[in-house]
Amino acid sequence: MASQEPSQELLDSPLFQITPQFTSAPAGSHSSALPKFPYRPAGSQTGFLRRVGNSIVNPKVPIPRAAHAEAPGKLRARQACSHCREQKAKCTGRQPCQRCEEKGVDCIYGLRSRDVLDRKIAELSAQNQLYRDLVYEIYPGLDISSAQKVQHVFNDLGIEVEPTVYSKARSASPVNSCLRTTTYDTKIGSVDISFTIKGHTDEDFNSSQRLQAMGFIGEHSAIAWLFELTRYLAMKSGLGPGDETYPPSISAMNYFQDEAKLETLEDGFQWTRPPREEADQLVNYYLRTIHPEFPVIGKLTFCWQYQSYFSSPNARPGRRWMALLNLVLAIAAKISPLARTYHGKSTGHHGIYFSRAWQLGIDHVALRDSPDLQQVQVEGLAAFYLLSIAEINRAGRMLGTAIQSAVAMGLHLRNSSIEVQFSTREIRYRVWWTLFVMDSSLQAITGRPPKTDTRFCTTPIPMPYREEDLADNAIRHLHADVYARNQLLRPFLFFTGISDHITGPRLAGGDQIAGSESRKANSDERVTQEVTKYGATTTSATSVTSKTSMTPKISLFFVHTVDLSHLTHKVIGILYSPQPPHISSPDLEITISSFNDSMNQWLLHLPQEFNFTTTHNVRSCSPQTVSLGFRFYAARIVVNKPCLHYLAYDSTRPHPPQSFHQAAAKLCVRAACEMLDLLPSTVDLAWLYGTTPCWLVLHYIMMSITVLMIELFLHSEGQSSEERSVLVQVQKALRWLKFMSNSDTSAKKAWLICNNILAQHESQNSPVHEIQKGQ
């Protein structure tokens, strides 16, 4: 748009009658010396002219400044010294400046803001690099949850973990020498977890009564491993669906008694009082053998009520206590005859006791009445009894009912009510963790997901003291002091995040109440005193790490059992979850290595009295030592089984002999052999049912023999010493199953399944042929 010149009327107005000021200019340069008066073009928003009413005014007229030359020696200082800056005075910028020199003070020049920023950036960059190097250094030794957190943060920040970090992770632990491997191509040696975990089921569990009775069997169950092995061997032999020896369903591999029917009694017999002598024998056996593994009842309370019941002929306790008593008698009667038969003693029939308990405390009662602590104990004992008679599906369903009743009572949370006595709280904590341990065992047997979620659990781990010791004032104070309790339990827990389960009271603002230094010192002193009772010496709670010199108690054994159960929960949740996203190959290696390293550390810090690896005579081991050994090796097998599975069933690409998965598979096979080493070479059923957790021994044996058969059929040629030891262990497992089958129907079914597999797929030159010859 063309600019418009101002009108003549505007130019004649007084606003423009201003005498301009001229600067000196050469002669003849008149046009350059004239000032240029700005005007406002049409539509412009800038300029000096603006309209006020009907008049146009020019409020500001630019007047050129005269250029003043700076006097020599009066140049402006680029930076003032600190003293002049504080006094807000002019500084000459010299060193020293004039003002500081006159006042006789030190003349100091600080960094400029830009220099400060540059230095700060350099410091932060160096600090960031230091932190990154530190994370790279400790990354291989982190537990799996911490390593995953670091990996997620790196991914969010776009930081790629260096390959050397993964190689360090595979050989981080000096203890786990089996997994220290040479460098190899990760594309060849890696495994995708999707090869082993299916997100679907191939069975219709509603199609037949047999499948309904068994229920779903997941990928980490020994039954599923057996079924997969038999189908693979059948297809390798040219068989397919429809052939006589081809396994049609996973129920063909089920060696438990899920199809059996429960015995029931007519109404009116449930209140029958058991004979006193027989009841005393069974109760004593239960408290001595089973209660340390399954402390779901309060021992002192139950014994007092038991004495009161038999001391008064007219006593008539409530339905739930009578159900509790009959379940204790049923469990002891089921297990003890197997050990007592060899001493010429007999006990009552366990089915009768269970039928009474079922009518008193479960049938038409579990959902009709609101749950209380006794009802949770009744349901937990009923689940344990069903497990002991090998009715696994019913045991899992009953345990789910018990856990839901416990959650309804808030047993999964720490109790801070002042109305609940100290000893009662501890009993409730033990009830919850007993159900948790049993859930862990049933997870491994059935391959099903857990029924308990530790993310929603804050119940403290039970204190390592007998119930009889809880009346001690020192223990009472230790229970009330959250910090001292944490410090006492921390050295015993490797897989249990203690901060996740034990929390102190919190203020309204959300900050946890922090004790004073004196309170912390008192807590340290309490912990020191309690650890001294175990036989260890220490100076503060933070240094309570020496456990090998402590004299362990049965309650300490249960703490270790809970810790191993946490490991099983974590392993199944990470390695055997069908939910995407699946674990990448490097992450899988780090995960398995982390679990193995943690298990090695757990084993190194186990009290000597519980150490099952140092004894040469398993018959001299305590029941607690044998139980921890079985649980440890079972967890080791579950951790490393994905690598064995991959190497056994994926023959589409070569596997380097020094690959990570070869080493992990060997560790899985070795764990199976070491688990069978916990059994004496000579079959002794009295020792078995009197020392071991016999309700789980069949599962442990079948887990081991399945892993060893996979190794024999798909890897071994029977030439090396390690392969020969596998043959010996398979023969040993079959020998134990055969002798157990004389008094256990489930063991007989398991022996027949294994024997048929070996018989159908043996060849004259195979190592399996030697097993068949030795039977």
Q: What is the pLDDT of residue 434?
A: 96
Cβ distance 575 to 449 under 8 Å?
A: no
Q: What is the pLDDT of residue 501?
A: 43
What string of H, E and C letters represents the secondary structure of 433-485? Answer: HHHHHHHHHHHHHHCCCCCCCHHHCCCCCCCCCCHHHHHCHHHHHHHHCHHHH
Q: What is the pLDDT of residue 430?
A: 94
Lowest mean pLDDT among 177-191, 328-342, 609-623, 681-695: 177-191
Cβ distance 449 to 443 under 8 Å?
A: yes
Of the segments 33-47, 465-479, 507-521, 661-675, which one has the largest average pLDDT value?
Answer: 661-675
Q: What is the pLDDT of residue 691?
A: 86
Q: What is the pLDDT of residue 64?
A: 61
For residue 435, pLDDT over 80 is answered with yes
Q: What is the pLDDT of residue 766?
A: 53
Report the half-sphere exposure of 139 (CA within 13 A, side-chain side).
26
Lowest mean pLDDT among 99-103, 308-312, 584-588, 674-678: 584-588
Residues 629-656 pLDDT 10s: 999 999 999 999 988 877 777 654 555 5
Residues 66-101 pLDDT 10s: 554 444 555 567 788 888 888 888 888 888 888 888
Distances (CA, A) of 93 to 71, 74, 107, 117, 729: 16, 11, 10, 22, 90
Report the half-sphere exposure of 378 (CA within 13 A, side-chain side).
28
For residue 140, pLDDT over 70 is answered with no
Specify the DSSP element, H or E, that contains 56.
Answer: strand 55-57
The band of 468, judged by pLDDT with boundaries at 50, 70 and 90, is confident
Between β-strands 50-52 and 55-57, what pairing exists: parallel, antiparallel or unpaired?
antiparallel
Residue 704 corresponds to which tokens in the numbers above? 């081991």
465 sits in the region (left: phi over 0; alpha: psi -120 to 50; else beta) called beta
Q: What is the pLDDT of residue 29?
A: 46
The band of 490, judged by pLDDT with boundaries at 50, 70 and 90, is confident
Q: What is the pLDDT of residue 256?
A: 93
Q: Which residues of 355-394 are buried (b: 16+ CB within 10 A; e: fewer)?
A: bbbbbbbbeebbeeeebebbbbbbbbbbbbbbbbbbbbbb
The band of 561, judged by pLDDT with boundaries at 50, 70 and 90, is very high
For residue 609, pLDDT over 70 is answered with yes
Residues 223-238 pLDDT 10s: 999 998 988 888 887 7
Query: Could you give the CA distance from residue 419 to residue 422 in angstroms, rounded to a whole number?
Result: 9
Q: What is the mean pLDDT of the chain?
A: 75
**Cα 254 from chain centroid (whole Å):** 29
For residue 527, pLDDT over 80 is answered with no
Nearest to 550 by CA among 537, 538, 535: 535
Q: What is the pLDDT of residue 240?
A: 72
Specify the DSSP element, H or E, that contains 638.
Answer: helix 623-649
The band of 34, judged by pLDDT with boundaries at 50, 70 and 90, is very low
Reduce the DSSP state of residue 57 to 3 states and report it. Answer: strand
Q: What is the pLDDT of residue 37?
A: 44
For residue 485, pLDDT over 70 is answered with yes
Question: Which residue has tokens 């024998």?
Answer: 281
Mean pLDDT calculated for residue range 153-171 = 55
Nearest to 218 by CA among 231, 206, 202, 238: 202
Cβ distance 331 to 286 under 8 Å?
A: yes
Query: Could you give the CA distance from residue 622 to residue 607 in angstroms, rounded to a whole number?
Result: 13
Query: Could you give the CA distance from residue 559 to residue 439 in angstroms, rounded to a whole number?
Result: 16
Query: Could you give the CA distance from residue 775 to residue 772 in angstroms, rounded to a whole number?
Result: 5
Mean pLDDT calculated for residue range 489-508 = 58
Q: What is the pLDDT of residue 486?
A: 80
Q: What is the pLDDT of residue 295?
A: 94
Other Cβ atoms less than 10 A from the Cβ of 161: the count is 17
Mean pLDDT calculated for residue range 750-767 = 76
Strand boundaries in 677-736, DSSP class E: none
Q: What is the pLDDT of residue 143?
A: 59
Question: Which residue has tokens 């979850």?
Answer: 577
Query: Could you give the CA distance from residue 68 to residue 70 in angstroms, rounded to a whole number?
Result: 6
Query: Could you give the CA distance from residue 526 to residue 492 in angstroms, rounded to a whole number?
Result: 17
Query: Could you give the CA distance from residue 448 to residue 284 in angstroms, rounded to a whole number?
Result: 34
DSSP string, 239-282: --TTSTTS--SGGGG--S-TTPPPP---TT-TTPPPPHHHHHHH
End-to-end CA distance of the chain: 110
DSSP 492: G
Nearest to 213 by CA among 439, 471, 446, 551: 446
Residue 716 corresponds to which tokens in the numbers above? 């071994």
The band of 383, judged by pLDDT with boundaries at 50, 70 and 90, is very high
For residue 339, pLDDT over 70 is answered with no
Lowest mean pLDDT among 306-310, 508-512, 681-685: 508-512
The more confident residue out of 521 and 395 is 395
Q: What is the pLDDT of residue 8?
A: 56
**The dihedral formed by the CA atoms of 664, 665, 669 and 670, expressed in degrees to the nearest 10:** -30
Cβ distance 564 to 628 under 8 Å?
A: yes
200 sits in the region (left: phi over 0; alpha: psi -120 to 50; else beta) called beta
Query: Could you give the CA distance from residue 279 to residue 59 in angstroms, rounded to a whole number?
Result: 113
Of the segments 148-152, 198-202, 589-593, 614-618, which one has the largest average pLDDT value?
Answer: 589-593
For residue 397, pLDDT over 80 is answered with yes
The more confident residue out of 565 and 504 is 565
Mean pLDDT calculated for residue range 345-363 = 79
The more confident residue out of 44 and 431 is 431
**Cα 87 from chain centroid (whole Å):** 63
Phi, psi at residue 232, to the nearest 5°?
-65, -45
Q: What is the pLDDT of residue 365?
A: 66
Summary count for the chain: helices (H), strands (E):
30, 2
Mean pLDDT calculated for residue range 176-203 = 44
Phi, psi at residue 55, to the nearest 5°?
-110, 155
For residue 41, pLDDT over 60 is answered with no
**Cα 247 from chain centroid (whole Å):** 36
Query: Could you give the CA distance from residue 139 to residue 163 in angstroms, rounded to a whole number?
Result: 12
Q: Which residues pair with 51 in a beta bridge?
A: 56
